[in-house]
Structure 1
């Protein structure tokens, strides 16, 4: 048996952890560099996510007990889009898919589940990635990182560099220095309400009356040139998102999450009262520490592989969140990469990475564009193809655009090629 390949993974988020699992199973030695000093026990900007069937099947192969995943998630068996009329305090269902087959999870729960199934020796916490170099013969890759506690700079050598460093990827910028993310035209207020101990409160009873299928339904409320998302998470939590059209804000850090002031939160609460049903507006007002994400994506890349450097997750395909794709794409990226490396071996790394790119690029490219279209329809933005059927959305339930609202309209919704 040949010598094990060594992969250096930059980024300890779900994409990086997924790659660590997939490459370990493929027979590779892995090392994860992460600038955070410790695993996120309860991230202040933690939020909900939806896992599709393929991602769940993959995650189960990484866990010591496959049924653990169900213990950390709730079913999302219904996908429902509805209009909201605040004045009349009512809704009208536009689409309803009762065979949705996703599961809802809290981000930190899934991260912890994946992290706890890996050896601690895999991780270098508090290590800031700086740069990489590849020798002329392309036989290896050398990564520089700074240990944040001591400010010491170290070098690590491997056979493969995996960029799982997010939508603002430093590694991607090495190859595409002029690439600028595309601002969607809107930002997203997000929050998770923990109602533990208040299960029978007036507010929770009201929200369950207004949204009777909470606990199994992914709700989309469409208002005037805006939309919101609501679904339940395990352990008495409600996850909500509200997309607001606005000019592009100035980001003051290397993050798409903005700092928000109490004045901004107060204004958001006031606007919620004018736009949403009173039950949803009250839920938003009673949520502690809501935060604001600036929503970006990018046209599909032509390459996600350069020599022995490979992009995965948001570094490979920055996407808007409307198709619940980001986490699912990251997990499937990792799985396919692992299978290609296992099949080809360390000695044929170029062919393995080429196969990974051939399998994943057509899938993620279509999904990025579909997610963009979903967002533009729901925010009443002009569509790239000039289609203006969205303007009849609230009145014309027979419009073809209603089919576009369903998550099931996503290309490769449940059948992305994995090998």
Structure 2
């Protein structure tokens, strides 16, 4: 997307991938308009933690003009613990920062359009040689089409007023998330893969947890092994991004294999009777469903860990799935998919933010779009297969793990060639020093 003159770029979706792309392009002198469907710039996150890994850490280092302010909690090890005894089996070396979606979103907004928030009350001043950055809320993009002259047109509607608009930019970047309607129109035959388990999630302020619990677990990432199930628990910033002891949150993710489609449907049916497809948001869970899951937890987890389960007040559930697009560039290389719209891995390897930022940051560097597309698609395939292998190792026993490992090795050989796959695996092609979660 290199150009000697300022380009007019529309980004569909104002989350991590879209904002990263906007910042990088704006800093290169291009004019960027972000179209976001949410009606308010003040966004309430899902209470989910986010892990910054090798790509996302480097991109924040390169692009964040508030990088002198910590954004999360450095994490150098994951302690693998036996749930019955809390005995530490081993430590896994990682290189990550544990943070929250809100902390990243408001940091990126501060860099993109100097948006003020409690997370970033003093955003950096815009540079004189930057392009223009506009963030428009309440805009639902209904279609992206190509004309006979190879130009592209973005059609969108104001969700509050009903006003219909269209715009013909130089480029369009689609970053509207894992359930992208625009991706569905571009790749209608693409289907997601669901391995048959979900994640139960929730956060608890550290101020609400006992001294014994905090002494054991605060400030560290802990993985608790159970029979075909496991829990990840770690410390993340508080509700206003605070990293101070006593103001932070503990985050819990419980990977749990549901028994049947009927059980999953019951779990995803909210307090108002609506059955959600993939995620039951916080505040919508029926009390009897959470009480039932807590009874299961009481039988499976150590009493010290159960303290946190019991103190989660707004649990939410997500069905684990993955999707990997076979194509990233469309309409004569004027429309691009990035982030979760392009790749959604199973969450076991915690790579969502890593690839969202990686897709966005590399796109603005590449003069030859097909090279960019070929590169990201190869990395996406490897990342997806590795996340499936991790999930199967913890949740499907040795048989499922060996099958997934074989599938991963076949993918590596197919993507990188017979000579290169082992070298890449040893180097940790996507994760730096090691893998985790």
Q: Which band: TM-score by shorter chain?
A: 0.7 to 0.9
Partner of 2:33: 31
The 5-angstrom pairing of residues 158-307 of structure 1 reads 158-196=169-207, 198=208, 203-211=209-217, 214-215=218-219, 217-234=220-237, 235-246=247-258, 247-248=260-261, 249-250=264-265, 252-253=275-276, 256-257=279-280, 259-298=284-323, 300-306=324-330, 307=332
Distance of aligned partners of 1:226 and 1:125 in 2 relative to their CA distance in 1, 3 Å threshold? same
CA distance in 1, matches of 2:9, 2:30: 7
Residue 39 (structure 1) shift: 2.4
- Report the 3-state secondary structure (helix = DSSP H, G, I; strand = E; otherwise coil) of the residue aligned with 2:23: helix
- CA offset at residue 337 of structure 1? 0.6
- Give 3-state SS (helix, strand or coil) of 2:97's partner: strand
Given the alignment of the two structures, is residue 131 of structure 1 paired with residue 133 of structure 2, yes or no?
A: no
TM-score scaled by length of structure 1:
0.82
In the TM superposition, residue 174 of structure 1 has moved relative to its aligned partner by 1.4
- Secondary structure of the residue that 2:164 maps to in structure 1? strand
1:348 matched residue in structure 2: none
What is residue 87 of structure 2 aligned with on the other side? 92
Deviations 1:77-118 (A, max 9, x none): 112222212xxxx13333312x42211101101111111111
* Distance across 1 between alignment mates of 2:142 and 2:110: 27
- Residues 18, 93 of structure 1: alpha-carbon distance in 2 compared, 3 angstrom cutoff: same
Q: Does the CA contact (< 8 Å) of 2:385 and 2:404 recur in 1?
A: no
C-alpha separation in 2, matches of 1:15 and 1:170: 16
1:128–1:146 contact (8 Å) kept in structure 2: yes
Matched, 1:55 2:56: yes
- Mapped partners of 1:387, 1:63: distance in 2: 37
Determine if contact 2:152/2:169 at 8 Å carries over to the other structure.
yes
- TM superposition shift of 1:379: 0.9
Q: Deviations over 1:229-281 (max 9, x none)?
A: 00011332101101110135457457634542111111111111111111211
Instruction: Please tell me whether the aligned partners of residues 256 and 295 of structure 1 are also in contact (alpha carbons under 8 angstroms).
Output: no
**SS class of match (1:369):** helix
In 2, distance between residues paired with 1:256 and 1:170? Answer: 17
Find the aligned partners of 1:388 and 1:101 in 2 and give their Cα distance.
23
Q: How many residues align?
A: 371
Matched, 1:373 2:374: no
Shift of 1:355: 2.2
Contact 1:167 1:317 in 2 (8 A): yes
- Counterpart position of 2:108: 114
CA RMSD of the aligned region, Å?
A: 2.5
TM-score by length of 2: 0.79
**1:402 maps to which residue?**
none
Asked if structure 2 preserves the Cα contact closer than 8 Å seen for 1:218 and 1:230, the reply is: yes
Partner of 1:318: 344
2:430 aligned partner: 412
Query: 1: distance between equivalents of 2:405 and 2:6?
Result: 55
Do 2:75 and 2:95's aligned partners in 1 also have CA atoms closer than 8 Å?
yes
SS of equivalent residue, structure 2 residue 141: strand
CA separation of 1:34/1:260 partners in 2, compared to 1, >3 Å: closer, same or farther?
A: same
Q: Name stretches of at least 5 consecutive residues in structure 2 with no aligned partner.
A: 116-132, 238-246, 269-274, 407-424
CA distance in structure 2 between the aligned counterparts of 1:145 and 1:261, rounded to whole angstroms: 35
